[in-house]
Homo-oligomer: A and B are copies of this chain.
């Protein structure tokens, strides 16, 4: 019945008769993932999740929508980007905007104070994203949080270790992880003479250094936000500094900054963090391979006619032995067709049956890439396939 429904729907959706003016598209800002994209996604997720598991993290899942009031007031100005569900009677609901608020709701509801959890799931924002730059209205977030009270900087160091491991294993090329401590920035503002009531707004201007050059940032501080040029220049000097342990030590000696208790606390913690990161040192490793959308190890094929039953039997034998196998759904497919299927989908091996092979109790095992063929006895076939596919 499902199949009938599907065929009917397909006919309806894809009708060539021109009668249907059906809009065939996904919602704005969303996309399908085809098998190739899914294979890549799976590989990336597996790398990430293996890392989280190696670090002893648990995972939870929460519904895709929450009570509207659970989300209300949590996102400030961005609240207008929340997707609300239509009021069809009952509760007022909204699609989740991130995974942090649902996590907080989960902790509070279950009175949980300590948990190391990851959550990889889609979130929803009614933004006008630049889809050409990979931004969408439905997109994945990958959250890792350590909730609880611990000695300073130890969980923070583990989080950074995890980021380092994942970025290394994903083999994305060189990367740079930036760390900060809000108390250091606040201390800088204080010693540079930023009035208390301007901390927030000057901070949001400094954040723009990612996107615009210093001159423009300074301009905004001075012209728009009324900061003195001198204060702006001092801030500019501080925020342009980059470094690790050495910088934290240098700033602790800085005659001006060291006058701020806040900044000193932040810098001391930062030193602690860098010392833990040294203890956590890691080595990189790499690997790369071609993208396949299935994991099939072998295609069961025949060169002669009337061997469908033998093909099906052998396929079942392989499945039962845990081998990933496929067979073409055709009574008498040509050998060429069968080999082409392997090349198109990247299946590395073909098990070929013929009258002679059946008589001899063997299977011709062909390496698709090298075209090498050897006779393998039925009894040893599973082992041989496992051996050959574990090598690659």
Contacts and interface: CB of A to CB of B under 8 A. Distances in A.
Interface string A16-36: 000000111111101111110
Interface string A45-66: 0000000011111111111111
Given A2-B100, A14-B107, A108-B10, A88 B83 contact: yes
SS of A interface (majority): mixed
21 contacts: A4-B182, A5-B100, A13-B107, A13-B108, A23-B67, A23-B69, A25-B67, A27-B63, A28-B91, A33-B61, A38-B58, A38-B59, A39-B58, A56-B296, A56-B324, A65-B138, A83-B88, A86-B87, A154-B308, A155-B329, A279-B316
A1 B104 CA distance: 15
A199 interface: no
A284 to B, nearest CB: 12
Contact of A280 (B111, B281, B312, B330): B312
Contacts of A101: 9
Given A57-B294, A294-B57, A108 B24 contact: yes
Interface stretch (A145-153, A246-254, A353-361, A368-376): A145-153
Contact of A61 (B3, B24, B32): B32
A1 B182 contact: yes
A27 B66 contact: yes
Interface residues of A, number: 112
Contact of A276 (B35, B41, B312): B312
Ranked nearest first, the 4 interchain pairs of A and B with the lowest CB-CB distance are A14-B108, A35-B58, A150-B329, A30-B63
A280 B316 contact: yes
> Which of A5, A56, A330, A331 has the most chain B CB within a 10 Å cutoff?
A56
A326 B55 CA distance: 6
Contacts of A5: 100
Interface string A276-306: 1001110000000000011110000000000
A35 B147 contact: no
A305 to B, nearest CB: 13
A109 interface: yes
Contacts of A106: 32
Interface of A: 1-6, 9-10, 12-14, 22-28, 30-35, 38-39, 41-42, 53-67, 69-70, 74, 83-88, 90-91, 93, 95, 100-101, 103-111, 115, 117, 122, 124, 126, 138, 145-148, 150-151, 154-155, 157-158, 161, 165, 182, 276, 279-281, 293-296, 308-309, 312-313, 315-316, 319-320, 322-326, 329-331, 345, 347
Given A6-B103, A86-B85, A276-B312, A27 B93 contact: yes
A315 B282 CA distance: 13
A350 to B, nearest CB: 13
A295 to B, nearest CB: 5
A90 to B, nearest CB: 6
